[in-house]
């Protein structure tokens, strides 16, 4: 099994959930209102640093990984086309996991 960790600007939630559904992700955990600092700057939801991030954690069977990561890379690439060279507030990480209970 593989766990995906997706960190993204909350304004992308609807589009990302649709892309995930179309790629075959049917179960995940969504954490809203994540704050922090990264490649695209501070994200603290204040007047000076507006916006919020969200985090999705999804666990995939090994045979799903290539199809789903490809779809998420395409999702990122589509947004990158329109970013005028600026980084996109979207990161995708994976790590092996085991279900223990």
pLDDT at 35: 73
Tokens 């996109």 belong to residue? 88
Residue in 58, 37, 55 with CA at minimum distance from that of residue 46:
37
Domain boundaries, the chain: 2-96
Give all strands (DSSP E) within 1-101, no chain letters. 2-9, 29-34, 36-38, 41-43, 53-60, 90-96
Residue-by-residue pLDDT tens, the chain, 101 positions: 999 999 998 999 999 999 999 999 989 999 998 877 666 666 655 555 567 889 999 999 999 999 999 999 999 999 999 888 788 889 999 999 999 99
Alpha carbon distances (Å) from 55 to 47, 64, 68, 76: 22, 20, 17, 15
So what CATH class is 2-96?
A: alpha beta
């Amino acid at each position: 099994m593989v766990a995906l960790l997706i960190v993204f600007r909350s304004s992308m939630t609807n589009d990302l959930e649709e892309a995930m559904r179309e790629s075959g992700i049917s179960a995940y955990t969504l954490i809203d209102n994540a704050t922090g600092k990264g490649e695209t700057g501070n994200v603290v939801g204040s007047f000076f640093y507006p916006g919020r991030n969200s985090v999705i954690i999804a666990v995939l069977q090994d045979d799903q990984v290539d199809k789903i990561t490809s779809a998420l890379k395409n999702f990122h690439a589509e947004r990158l086309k329109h970013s005028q060279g600026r980084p996109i507030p979207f990161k995708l990480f994976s790590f092996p996991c085991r279900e223990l209970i």
